[in-house]
Every structure is written in C-alpha cells, then in structure tokens.
C-alpha cells in the first residue's frame, strides 16, 4: 500500500510525467530517424538506378605503380568526388605482373560523365598533382576504359 503521508509522495506523479515526456520525445525522434532513413534510402536508390559505370584499367610504367596509387589516394579520388563522380572501388590484381590499377566510377549518364571529366582535367589542383607526380617520368603507359550498365539482377545498378 502507498503511504500518501510520506514526504515526496506528491512529487511522484510530476517525476513520472517528466520521465514519460522524455521517453515520448525520444521515441518520436527515433521514429523520425527511422522514417527519414527509409525514405532517404529509397530516394538514394532511385537516383542510383540505371547509372553509367566506367571501368578503367591503368597500366603503370615499371616501378611507378606505388606512385600512381599514391596520386589516386592523395589527390585523384577526392577530385573525382569534387567533380561529381561516384568512386565505386579501386583494385590491383593479386598477381599483378602488368602493374595494373583497376577502378570503377559511376555517373548518372554519359553527359554527366563528360561534364565531370571536363571539370576534372581542367581543375588546377589536378594539373598540379599530375605535374608533381610525373616530375620523374610518366606513371601510366596505357589506359583501357569500358562503359557498363547494371543488369536487372545486379545488386549495383
């Protein structure tokens, strides 16, 4: 049985109400976060549908693969992002006899790709990074490029 004559008894409902108000506020914020995450994800997925992918293979000159990877790590990846390119991933073959660096970029469409690369090659930061990285000789002897689109059963489109 509750002893209503006990000091502090009258504060219990106020404390309980304050606690419930905090819990309700927290639950509302949690629900808003959950809903916005779902709608944001759907929006991002819609934007990513039917993208154009470009797979590029760079063949580094002998002894230049580490310098090429450093240029990508320190400059190129960020500049691609700056100019609206989506960096999907970068790889080197396990058995890399040809000094390859392979990467994939994504674009909304071919026109966006053209615009992004124009901005990239004309960017003073790229020109400076390129000049500095090639002061001891060209890093790349050959570049292969191929455009791809996702299939209906691909996890990435």
Tens of pLDDT, residue by residue over 31-51, are 555 544 444 444 344 356 789
Q: What pLDDT sits at residue 45?
A: 45
How many Å apart are CA 43 and CA 128, to the nearest integer?
A: 37
How many Å apart are CA 36 and CA 44, to the nearest integer?
A: 12
Burial class of 133 by CB neighbour count within 10 A (0 to 12, 13 to 18, 19+): buried
How many Å apart are CA 93 and CA 98, to the nearest integer?
A: 9
- Domain map of the chain by residue range? 9-47, 50-149
The domain made up of 50-149 has a fold known as: Alpha-Beta Plaits (3.30.70)
Q: What pLDDT sits at residue 36?
A: 46
The region, left, alpha or beta by phi > 0 then psi within -120 to 50, assigned to residue 50 is left
First to last CA, the chain: 65
Indicate whether 3 pLDDT > 60: no
Percent of the chain with pLDDT over 70: 69
Tens of pLDDT, residue by residue over 73-122, are 999 999 999 999 999 999 999 999 999 999 999 999 999 999 999 999 99
């Amino acid at each position: 049985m509750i002893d209503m004559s006990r000091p502090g008894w009258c504060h219990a409902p106020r404390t309980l109400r304050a606690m419930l108000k905090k819990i309700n506020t927290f639950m509302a914020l949690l629900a808003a976060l959950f809903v916005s995450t779902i709608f944001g994800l759907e929006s991002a997925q819609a934007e990513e549908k039917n993208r154009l992918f470009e797979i590029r293979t760079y063949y580094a000159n002998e002894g230049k693969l580490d310098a090429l990877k450093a240029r990508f790590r320190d400059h190129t990846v960020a500049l691609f992002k700056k100019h609206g390119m989506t960096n999907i991933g970068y790889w080197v073959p396990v058995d890399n006899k040809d000094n390859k660096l392979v990467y994939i970029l994504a674009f909304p469409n071919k026109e966006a790709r053209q615009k992004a690369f124009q901005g990239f090659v004309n960017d003073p930061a790229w020109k400076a990074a390129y000049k500095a990285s090639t002061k001891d000789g060209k890093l790349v002897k050959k570049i292969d490029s191929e455009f791809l689109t996702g299939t209906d059963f691909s996890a990435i489109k």
